[in-house]
């Protein structure tokens, strides 16, 4: 801890990540896909890099999984429409 960093600057992020981890355990998301876990953690306010660290993956892989998930959902909605 630098002399410039206050106790709050150091410990509040640690406490936040610990609470996010407990929330994820409480929500029983351990068996869900990583992309679902990442969405949950980001909804709690964690940055993507922190969510990636908690999920033992990289920021880039989470970004790619989210992109693929979004693309899959948009294709699914287009397939349900009737052609005129």
Q: What is the pLDDT of residues 42-81, one digit of tens each?
A: 999 999 999 999 999 999 999 999 999 999 988 876 655 5
CA distance 53 to 51: 5
Residues 6 or more apart in contact with residue 4 via CB below 8 angstroms: none
| 3-7, 10-14, 17-21, 40-44, range with the lowest pLDDT | 3-7
For tokens 């959902």, what's the residue?
Answer: 73
Prediction pTM value: 0.74
CA distance 77 to 62: 23
């Amino acid at each position: 801890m630098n002399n410039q960093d206050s106790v709050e600057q150091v410990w509040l992020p640690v406490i936040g990540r610990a609470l996010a981890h407990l929330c994820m355990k409480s929500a029983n998301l351990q068996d869900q896909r990583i992309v679902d876990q990442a969405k949950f953690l980001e909804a709690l306010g964690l940055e993507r890099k922190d969510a990636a660290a908690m999920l033992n993956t990289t920021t880039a892989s989470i970004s790619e999984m989210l992109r693929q998930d979004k693309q899959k959902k948009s294709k699914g909605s287009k397939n349900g429409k009737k052609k005129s």
